[in-house]
Structure 1
Amino acid sequence: MARTLMTLGCLWLGISGAMAHADDADDFPRQVTDLAGRDVTLMSPPQRIFLAQPRQLYALLTLMQAPLERVVGWAYPLAVFDPAMAQRLETRWPSLATLPALSRASTPGLDSEGLLALRPDLVLFDLSQRSRIEGSPLAHLLSEVGTPYLYVKFNRHPLEDGPASMQLLGAVLGEEARAKAVDDMIERHLAQIDQRLRNITERPRVLINIAPGVKVDCCRTNLHNGVSDMVTRAGARNLAADLAPVSGATLSKEWVLAHPPEVILNTGGQWSKGDGIRAGIGVSQQDIEADLQHLVASLPGWPALEAVQQGQVLALWHGFHQGPFAIVALEQIARWLHPEAFADLEPMATFAYLMQDSELSTQDGHFWARLPLVH
């Protein structure tokens, strides 16, 4: 069975190369360096891409007008994380609803034969998967059939990893112009934020609370990565950053009371399990506010925190640091932390540009909100 699949894979590589547009094929073979530092040679423009992480689709739709024309399958559907966003994307690309998936679990083991049966000519892995892929039977089979694979990453250091991954994908997919336009936009927005922050000395203390209610009620946090990068760049201090020399931690409710933050920043989504804060497509501002009120009321002592009393309890869509959208989160965080300096930023317009969705607006849903003040 495996030998048959490998033969089919080899045959398909020849076919896919012939299918590529002649002007694109002229630039191949092409060597690129992925986010793991691996030099990889692609013999022809990829036409059948497999996504080992469904949120990699965000990068493709940011780069390409019709990404589903070149995606043949994924490890598991985006709907596992965000069914509402998946449904919206299905209205743009109906074939997304029937895109082959190897699993319905969020942390599947990749089935080598199932993957090769899709005849991919490029496999995208997240860099976090590298320890499981390198030296594995799957890596050996991909090498045997001549299917290149690349590592990309977005959520470790989003403001750096996202643009680097987008430039890599732009080069691989022949979308260099769009990748450069996105990179230039991000650089302009970053420069504007950095310039204004030079005149701001106040750096509020922010507690980062990752997906409260999904795995624990409080408080999974980032120390020197993920959302922490955006909080720091937006002109604040991550409350937990200096307390533990590790990349992540779970803080107790009591620790928070002993180290009161000035701002509490939570991430929210539409997970199928747990009692998390809602955010995203189809979610109203009132939904998010109600969830923030429930969170605060359920944690002993929290209603007395200054951040709660001042309405500085915030919620931000979790997906902003899972794709090329970190600049959107940065702009909204900057607006919250320093409203006078950044009142003119338009993070929703930035998000619509990256999604290539001119109709994306708060009429579709809410991706952030704050706890209303109680008078």
Structure 2
Amino acid sequence: MEKVASAAAISLALFSSVAIAGETVKIKDITGREVEVTVPVERVILGEGRQIYFTAALDTDKPFGRVVGWRDDFKKADLDGYNIYLQKFPEMEKIPTFGGMKDGTFDIEQAVALKPDVIIMNTEAKSATEESGYIEKLAAVGIPLVYIDFREKPMEHTDDSMRIIGKLFGKEERAEEFVKFHDEQIARVTDVLAKQADLKKPVVFMERAGGYSDDCCMSFGNENFGKMVELAGGINMAKDFIPGTFGNVNPEQIIASNPDQVIVTGSNWELYVPGGKWVGVGPGADQTEATRKLADLMTRPAFTDIKAVKDGNVHAIWHQFYNSPYQFVAVQQIAKWLHPDLFKDLDADRTFQELHTRFLPVDYKPGYFASLKTGS
């Protein structure tokens, strides 16, 4: 698994010493900023509701115990997951919610009133945060802001982001246990592929949130799901057309590239696009309905005559793998779709279930994947 040169420096900064309770330490966040924080933090504002994915992996018994405020996206972006957590932790509905830094609806006065020890933000909000002067305004009242990243360059930053949060929460050992599991599960794919001298790599088109709108088609460059495809032994079709992490590919390019496999990301977006054409894979999803909607998406002009559709190599995968520390599950499932003979004994559902058993406070419910090819 690739690492940038700065990763070692970040890890060294994080683990040069173990903080004493109530000690003010300098933490280097994922952007390289040095931030003074008194740890372990007891009051946290999550810059995105879906950051509960990592909070739950560290504060498993009380995933909302430190959370005094969070962005309002969890329910909208992952309704099925939200409801599973709500059933076990009804108190989460009482946590104050915020708009986003990026869309300019974050209420800084409300945040200050909640007296957080730290605000955790995704790197995608960095430009908006800096332009608005939020960091300086928060610093003036003694509230540090720390950046982590599970979206822009997740395959590069997930381990160090988990270590940063472990340091903040006083859960360094738990964070290391998660990182070890994360890396071991990716190695179950990459180690096998590394031994294949003449690996035939299929061309894969990853469609981001297919059916969310009528536009065609959002995709991924050489990061996020694009990088997951490469790690899983495929060729990300869109990497030559999208310079950054996210972008668009026009229908004519999909037809011309004639991909061997198509993978569409989806989730339950009923609160975003009621009755939409999106594929609602996720915890406990209706597989028959997911497959029906996936097949319907393949009737669009960009897809009807391409090789992937003719061969039935069309799949759907839970969109939220793109914004959580759980990407290793996606890498395993994609590898099995691309190279079924090499990974006949690999079971991504079982891996995800083990993650839930070891790290998460809610029970596992399958439904995160769908395929038009029977048995895949």
User: Per the shorter chain, which TM-score range?
Assistant: 0.7 to 0.9
Match of 1:78 in 2: 74
Cα distance, 1:103 vs structure 2: 4.0
**Matched ranges for 1:32-71 at <5 A:** 32-65=27-60, 66-71=62-67
Match of 1:294 in 2: 296
Matches of 1:53 and 1:285, distance apart in 2: 28
Matches of 1:290 and 1:127, distance apart in 2: 36
Asked whether the 8 Å contact 2:202–2:338 carries over to 1, the reply is: yes
Match of 1:335 in 2: 336
**Matched ranges for 1:1-375 at <5 A:** 25-26=20-21, 28-65=23-60, 66-103=62-99, 107=103, 109-134=105-130, 136-200=132-196, 201-271=199-269, 272-273=272-273, 274-297=276-299, 299-300=300-301, 302-355=303-356, 356-357=359-360, 360-361=363-364, 364-372=365-373
Q: What is the CA deviation profile of residues 91-127 of structure 1, one whole-angstrom value per residue up to 9, with x for unaligned ones?
A: 2222112111134999452111111111111101111
Give the residue type in structure 1 aligned to 2:36.
T
SS at match of 2:98: coil
Asked whether the 8 Å contact 1:207–1:238 carries over to 2, the reply is: yes
SS at match of 2:23: coil
Match of 2:9 in 1: none
Asked whether the 8 Å contact 1:90–1:96 carries over to 2, the reply is: yes
Asked whether the 8 Å contact 2:123–2:148 carries over to 1, the reply is: yes
Residue range with higher mean Cα deviation, 273-282 or 68-77: 273-282
Structure 2 vs 1, CA of residues 353 and 107 (structure 1 numbering), >3 Å: closer, same or farther?
Answer: farther
Asked whether the 8 Å contact 2:229–2:334 carries over to 1, the reply is: yes
Structure 2 vs 1, CA of residues 360 and 287 (structure 1 numbering), >3 Å: closer, same or farther?
Answer: farther
Give the residue type in structure 2 aligned to 1:291.
K
Match of 1:19 in 2: none
SS at match of 1:341: coil
Asked whether the 8 Å contact 1:76–1:105 carries over to 2, the reply is: no
Give the residue type in structure 1 aligned to 2:108.
S
Cα distance, 1:307 vs structure 2: 0.8
Aligned residue pairs total: 348
Give the residue type in structure 2 aligned to 1:28.
E
Q: What is the CA deviation profile of residues 215-235 of structure 1, one whole-angstrom value per residue up to 9, with x for unaligned ones?
A: 344211112111001000000
Q: What is the CA deviation profile of residues 127-181 of structure 1, one whole-angstrom value per residue up to 9, with x for unaligned ones?
A: 1111111263432231111111100110122222211110110111111111111
Asked whether the 8 Å contact 2:314–2:372 carries over to 1, the reply is: yes
Larger gyration radius, structure 1 or structure 2: 1
Cα distance, 1:350 vs structure 2: 2.7
SS at match of 2:222: coil
SS at match of 1:241: helix
Structure 2 vs 1, CA of residues 31 and 349 (structure 1 numbering), >3 Å: closer, same or farther?
Answer: farther
Asked whether the 8 Å contact 1:205–1:236 carries over to 2, the reply is: yes
Matches of 2:98 and 2:314, distance apart in 1: 39
Residue range with higher mean Cα deviation, 99-108 or 76-85: 99-108
Asked whether the 8 Å contact 1:75–1:108 carries over to 2, the reply is: no
Asked whether the 8 Å contact 1:223–1:249 carries over to 2, the reply is: yes
Matches of 2:332 and 2:59, distance apart in 1: 24
Residue range with higher mean Cα deviation, 192-201 or 148-157: 192-201
Give the residue type in structure 1 aligned to 2:261.
V
Give the residue type in structure 1 aligned to 2:172.
E
Matches of 1:49 and 1:358, distance apart in 2: 19
Residue range with higher mean Cα deviation, 273-282 or 110-119: 273-282
Structure 2 vs 1, CA of residues 183 and 357 (structure 1 numbering), >3 Å: closer, same or farther?
Answer: closer
SS at match of 1:134: helix
Structure 2 vs 1, CA of residues 193 and 134 (structure 1 numbering), >3 Å: closer, same or farther?
Answer: same
* Structure 2, gaps ≥5 residues long: 1-17
Asked whether the 8 Å contact 2:54–2:325 carries over to 1, the reply is: yes
Asked whether the 8 Å contact 1:80–1:106 carries over to 2, the reply is: no
- Once superposed, which parts of structure 1, at least 4 consecutive aligned residues long, lie more than 6 Å away? none
Give the residue type in structure 2 aligned to 1:282.
G
SS at match of 1:281: coil
Structure 2 vs 1, CA of residues 187 and 301 (structure 1 numbering), >3 Å: closer, same or farther?
Answer: closer
